[in-house]
Amino acid sequence: MSLQTGFGFGLDERLQQREADGLRRDLTPVDSVAATSRVAADPGGDEPAFGDRRTIFAANNYLGLAGDEQVIRAAAETAREIGTGAGASRLVVGDTPAHRSLERALAERKGSERALVFSSGYAANVGTLTALDPDVIFSDELNHASIIDGARLSAADVEVYDHCDASALADAMAERAVTAAPGESWLVVTDSVFSMDGDVAPLAEICEVAEEYGAWVMADEAHATGVYDGGIVGERGLEDRIDVQLGTLSKALGAQGGFIAGDETLIEWVLNAARSFVFSTGLAPPAAAAAECALERAPAQRDDLWANVELLRDGLESMGYEVYGETHILPVLVGTREDAVALDDRLREAGIVAPAIRPPTVPEGTSRIRVAPQATHTHREIERCLAAFEAAGEEVGLL
């Protein structure tokens, strides 16, 4: 029976509604994961037909390591030595020297006793939150979808606190404490770098509040891993106060997968209880080797990234754009979804790929263009991006 007949799911109608709401999206293939790539329209089931080269300011490949020759070589050598896939759950026969070596490197970089690698950052969040099975989760209102889904699946009571507001967290904890059952387990979960606002959680202040109530703290370092030495947690010397450090291998490290880091007992429990780890084939060994090589290469790339970030931020702000945040992610505030989409279209016409982000991903009235420079962008490409923003902004009426 077709999914769209009989009892059905009304998928045609759902797609039409999404189209009407301006939320329907399609796939945009690129010919390589690089700062500049050829781009194709959504080919459906056919082979993509690539057109002109465009400069990509939409990827999370912040350090440009997805195309780094040493990283590629590490993956290729491991594929030849171990194989292209793990073959099974790591608890069966899918654990390899590549996994163990990466986990030792991650634990050292994160200042923890041990680390555990998952097949994705999403799986790491969902698996860890459900394995910990807290009674209450205190969650920043702008946390990533994988945290939201993990919290739902954990069946915990979820208390959402105002974004990056440790005082709001304290108020939520104080209110919960009035009716708390004896021995409740509390977990505070927050991104460290927020991907749509480019800001940083006040982790030290969050730790102070959590410690007052005996709660654990879990920090998702997906957008900080590799960009900062030891992530935001390491940069701020909070390794001994953050109970669970989570990260991804697929953004600045240019590979695939996710991980958690913490003490020995935490890792032993999660590898036994996290269903997204236990019942999933292990991370592909070449991805593990690529991530470890990228971890070693990351420090050499950071200066170029931050130079490009500064050049772009200064240029955009000097034109009159408002740029949110304080990190390597540059959300350029536009306002209405219509203006954001129009600006996106003009930028694409100029050969710049930087997508419009609009509700419900961000609040009404705060639609934006999310600009993500890479360490491998040249100054000429940065200047080209700025020129495109200036011309597009004037055409749309934003400047």
Active site residue ranges: 195, 223, 251
Place of tokens 């939150």: 129
H or E segment and range at residue 176: helix 166-179
248-272 as b/e: b if 16+ CB within 10 A: bbbbbbbbbbbbbbbeeebbeebbe
Tokens at 205, concatenated: 């202040």
Neighbouring residues of 314: CB distance < 8 A, sequence distance ≥ 6 = none
From residue 51, alpha-carbon distances to 30, 37, 246, 370 in Å are 10, 9, 38, 23
Q: Can you tell me the distance from the alpha carbon of 115 to that of 266, in angstroms, rounded to the nearest whole number?
A: 9
Classify 261 as helix, strand or coil: strand
Classify 200 as helix, strand or coil: strand
Q: What angle do CA 362, 363, 366 make, to 5 degrees?
A: 85
Edge to edge, what strands does the sheet with 352-353 contain? 36-38, 53-56, 352-353
Q: Can you tell me the distance from the alpha carbon of 145 to that of 332, in angstroms, rounded to the nearest whole number?
A: 22
Closest to 372 (Cα-Cα) out of 391, 352, 358: 352
Q: Can you tell me the distance from the alpha carbon of 381 to that of 36, in angstroms, rounded to the nearest whole number?
A: 9
Classify 238 as helix, strand or coil: coil
Counting other chains too, the contacts that 306-313 makes at CB distance below 8 Å and 24 or more residues apart are 308/373, 308/374, 308/375, 308/377, 308/382, 309/373, 311/379, 311/382, 312/371, 312/373, 312/382, 312/385, 312/386
CB 260 within 8 A of CB 233: no
